[in-house]
Copies of this chain bind each other. A is one copy, B any other.
């Protein structure tokens, strides 16, 4: 293993802490808006994923969120009841139900997103395009655990 002197344990331990804070702050921003509808962080995580992947299905959400069907069901039931999301049967396999943001859900999500956007946008706006690309690369490498 190469000696990467700038990559000491202290540095890496710092990154672990920074990741914790960055995640927590970003996902705390929409707390008040969510609370008005009696939603919590679990609802936010589901909404985020459905917005990013329109037409996704229950099984896919389970996999992405790493939670069980029973746990996810509570959240989806809440979101369906308040018309934030809608289910549309898949045409090719009618067992599957594709999930989309409903009209009201799109408006609601934009409100949520505005609070999160500020934080990320302000962090990135003074960075060069190159830094943003590299930041994304590193995040992806952390997630995928490339050896």
Chain A contacts to B: CB under 8 angstroms: 2, 4, 6-7, 9, 11-28, 45, 48-49, 51-52, 66, 113, 116-127, 129, 131-132, 134-143, 145-147
How many copies of this protein are present in the complex? 2
Residue in contact with A136 in the complex, picked from B18, B117, B125, B145, CB distance below 8 Å: B18
Bound-state CA distance A45–B121 (Å) is 27
Bound-state CA distance A82–B107 (Å) is 49
Question: CB distance A25 to B120 under 8 Å?
Answer: no
Residue in contact with A21 in the complex, picked from B4, B123, B143, CB distance below 8 Å: B143
In the complex, besides A9-B117, A26-B142, A123-B145, 5 extra interface pairs with C-beta distance below 8 angstroms are A9-B113, A15-B139, A25-B142, A119-B142, A123-B142
